[in-house]
Amino acid sequence: MNLDYVKIPFSNNPSMIRFDGPVFNKSPDKNYIFEKEKQIKYFNENIYGQTNISIENNLLHKLLFYLGFDKSLGIKDLSLKLEEDFAVMFNGKMELGSICFPSGWDFSEKLGKDFSFIHEPVADNSKLISSSRKLSEYMCKQKIQRWVWTVTTSKDLSEHPKLKKPKLTTFENLYFRVETQTSTPIDEVTSLFLIKVNVYPLHDVWDTKILESINSMSDNVLNYKGLVEIKEFLNKM
């Protein structure tokens, strides 16, 4: 498994690369759709929706046209046709989206907010926050991609903050969680942000650079990612 995005030392800087591939999987894995159905049934409209600004500017129609789906689909319907979670950024704010598999955040609290607000809880976030406006503008010009990873005790695709994680017991109940984040322009003020979550048993992808990267994280990052106990455990192996 390619772990080039696992950096030593670790950094939360918004490092993205230009990307020319497809933005979503046109043959989605049925397991993702099944898990999305479960999350939507449990959380209802707390994990998908749009703002009045989105409605006024027909952002859903723009999105459906860009992706090549029937314009009659609703946000929930579209969500169940994609493996990926998605958000539409309009004038720098998230005005529409469906986030069934969040990594510790609540979509309902972020809808209608700009990048700075969305990333405010992220530890060591100064460069990320300071570059938010430029990043939002760049997302409307260029297709880009980045990866965000962690180690967790949960094998589930969703790490919604209202869901409880299992306790750490053995190396076998640790998982490597990675988000492939892809952004693509829709027009000069609108971009589509997609998140594909993958969760692997840690023993299947283990590389010492994972521990080296964790050991290089600040206390703030370790606390934010819930890695304090996991770091201690891995260093005792």
What whole-number distance in Å separates Cα of residue 217 and Cα of residue 204? 23
Number of domains in the chain: 1
CA distance 12 to 145: 15
Q: Quick one: pLDDT at residue 154?
A: 98
Decide if 12 is inside a domain.
Answer: no
Residue 116 has a pLDDT of 84
Of the pLDDT bands very low, low, confident and very high (cuts 50, 70, 90), residue 66 is very high
Q: What angle do CA 24, 99, 97 make, to 5 degrees?
A: 80
Bridge-based pairing of strands 93-98 and 48-50 is antiparallel
For 17, the token pair is 């690369």
What gap in Å lies between CA 60 and CA 64, rounded to an integer? Answer: 6
In a domain, 8, yes or no: no
Mean pLDDT of 47-65: 98
- Could you tell me if residue 5 is inside a domain? no
pLDDT, one tens digit per residue, over 80-137 is 999 999 999 999 999 999 999 999 999 999 999 998 888 787 866 676 667 778 888 9
Rounded to the nearest 5 degrees, what angle is found at the Cα of 113, between the Cα atoms of 187 and 45?
A: 95
Torsion of CA 80, 83, 84, 87, to 10 degrees: -10
In a domain, 202, yes or no: yes
Q: What is the pLDDT of residue 124?
A: 66
pLDDT at site 98: 98
DSSP string of 138-188, one letter each residue: HHTTS-EEEEEEEEES--SS-B-TTSPPPPP--GGG-EEEEEEEEEEEEET
Position of tokens 């290089």?
216
Q: Supply the pLDDT for residue 92.
A: 94
Nearest to 212 by CA among 10, 2, 15, 3: 10
173 located within any domain: yes
pLDDT value of residue 123: 67
Contact between 97 and 86 (Cβ < 8 Å): yes
Evaluate whether residue 1 is within a structural domain. Answer: no
Is residue 78, in this structure, part of any structural domain at all?
A: yes
Residue 129's pLDDT is what? Answer: 66
pLDDT value for 16: 86
- Please check whether residue 181 is in contact with residue 145, taking contact to mean a CB–CB distance below 8 angstroms: yes
CB–CB of 70/82 below 8 Å? no
- Give the residue among 181, 207, 177 at the shortest CA–CA distance from 192: 181
* Residue 143 within a domain: yes
pTM of the model: 0.95
Full residue range of the structural domain in which residue 207 is found: 17-235
